[in-house]
Chains A and B, each alone.
Chain A
Amino acid sequence: EDQVTQSPEALRLQEGESSSLNCSYTVSGLRGLFWYRQDPGKGPEFLFTLYSAGEEKEKERLKATLTKKESFLHITAPKPEDSATYLCATNSNSGYALNFGKGTSLLVTP
């Protein structure tokens, strides 16, 4: 059975304090690993897709990386507007659609 585990559950950072969120996965035949951002009261918003180990993608202060067992979402010099819940999801040969982790709730304080 595919599993996606995100850590930490919650993270509080000072503005400018860089950190990383972790997504560990166990799947049968990875077809893609996805990162989403979800603001309170809103639907998840797509950020990145990674397909193979060693792949990296960047968007503003966010950089996603992928290994054979985990993915990291690096946040460089975060700002308060980066506060949100970040969701990781996998798409694999044994499942359908996306299988989501429970998310990491990020709070960036001024």
Chain B
Amino acid sequence: NAGVTQTPKFQVLKTGQSMTLQCAQDMNHNSMYWYRQDPGMGLRLIYYSASEGTTDKGEVPNGYNVSRLNKREFSLRLESAAPSQTSVYFCASQKGTDTTGELFFGEGSRLTVL
């Protein structure tokens, strides 16, 4: 099993460009999450989806949009990238729909915005 797969692993953007980070899980989990990790800030929740067809904002949603395409896939879109969005992005999945229980993380997508 691959678990949680994120693409791309690395990306460099110029300010104002757009891009989509893709995430897929093969564990038949219901909930999926996007976090960002910055030095000295820890992991911060951007958006989450407790079940297929629902999405909700986390702690730092500004500048991002998400799509829960189906049960397996949850994408994160930056419409107009800014240098402040330079970060490592992690997708995670969780078995339940009540946002409790352990998360399983992907390997991360490293984004640099110039």
Interface residues of A (CB under 8 A from B): 31-32, 34, 41-46, 49, 87, 89, 91, 96-98, 100-103
**B45 within 8 Å of A by Cβ?**
yes
Q: Nearest-CB distance from A20 to chain B (Å)?
A: 20
CB <8 Å contact, B43 and A32: no
CB <8 Å contact, B48 and A97: yes
Residues of chain A within 8 A (CB-CB) of B58 are 96-97
Q: Assuming the A-B contacts A101-B42, A102-B40, A103-B42, are A96 and B99 also in contact, with contact meaning beta carbons closer than 8 angstroms in the complex? A: yes
CB <8 Å contact, B45 and A44: no
Q: List 14 A-B contacts (CB under 8 A).
A: A31-B100, A41-B107, A41-B108, A42-B107, A43-B4, A44-B43, A44-B103, A46-B103, A49-B101, A96-B48, A96-B56, A98-B45, A98-B103, A102-B41
**B25 within 8 Å of A by Cβ?**
no
Chain B interface size band reads 20 to 34
CB <8 Å contact, B106 and A43: yes
Residues of chain A within 8 A (CB-CB) of B103 are 34, 44, 46, 97-98
Q: Nearest-CB distance from B40 to chain A (Å)?
A: 7
CB <8 Å contact, A100 and B107: no
CB <8 Å contact, A32 and B101: yes
CB <8 Å contact, B48 and A49: no
CB <8 Å contact, B90 and A43: yes
**B94 within 8 Å of A by Cβ?**
yes
Residues of chain A within 8 A (CB-CB) of B4 are 43
Q: Nearest-CB distance from A28 to chain B (Å)?
A: 14
Q: Nearest-CB distance from B105 to chain A (Å)?
A: 3
Q: Nearest-CB distance from A48 to chain B (Å)?
A: 9
CB <8 Å contact, A96 and B104: no
CB <8 Å contact, A97 and B99: yes
Residues of chain B within 8 A (CB-CB) of A45 are 105
Residues of chain B within 8 A (CB-CB) of A97 are 31, 33, 45, 48, 58, 94, 99, 103
A101-B58 Cα distance, complex, nearest whole Å = 16
CB <8 Å contact, B42 and A42: no
A100-B42 Cα distance, complex, nearest whole Å = 7
